[in-house]
Amino acid sequence: MPVLGMIVDSIGYRMSAILIMCFLLAGAHVQMLLMDDDSCVRCFGSYIPLVLYGICEAFHMCIFWPSVIYFAPEEIHGTAFGIMGCFENIGMSVFPPIISLIHENTFRNHGYFWVEVAFLVMCLILIALCI
């Protein structure tokens, strides 16, 4: 049952929900950024940021994709969905090599410190674009 979709549809305010999602994602990345090696070994400190990642991804699917019909005219809905999928696929093919390059060439926190910094910078760019 698509509970999050029904919640977003009943409340509305999609742009506010996108902004809240960006702040939650940035908070999750800050938590992962501040995590030391001991909490990574125990893995108990990583539950909260990972749950926030999951919530943000669920809201991403419930907010971004259905919002296309509100911004594109009805005649070009298929094209708009295709362009959105194209940009998502470009992001999925461009960013993993960049992130792995950062991870392999840094050593603080086993390379994950600067990876989280890169993700946090991307979240801050998203927040700036939403505002």
Q: What 8-state DSSP symbol labels residue 74?
A: G
Distances (CA, A) of 64 to 35, 46, 94: 30, 27, 20
Which pLDDT belongs to residue 1? 45
Distances (CA, A) of 36 to 29, 86, 97, 109, 122: 13, 37, 25, 7, 22
Which pLDDT belongs to residue 37? 61
Which pLDDT belongs to residue 42? 56
Interior angle at CA 59, CA 111 and CA 25, nearest 5? 30
pTM: 0.78
Sorted by sequence, the CB contacts under 8 Å of residue 13 that are 6+ apart come out as: none
Structure tokens at 18: 């996108």
Q: What is the pLDDT of residues 69-85, one digit of tens each?
A: 888 888 999 999 999 89
Could you list the mean pLDDT of each consecutive 10-residue stretch along the chain, which spans 131 residues? 75 83 88 70 71 86 83 90 91 91 81 85 88 81
Interior angle at CA 40, CA 56 and CA 61, nearest 5? 10
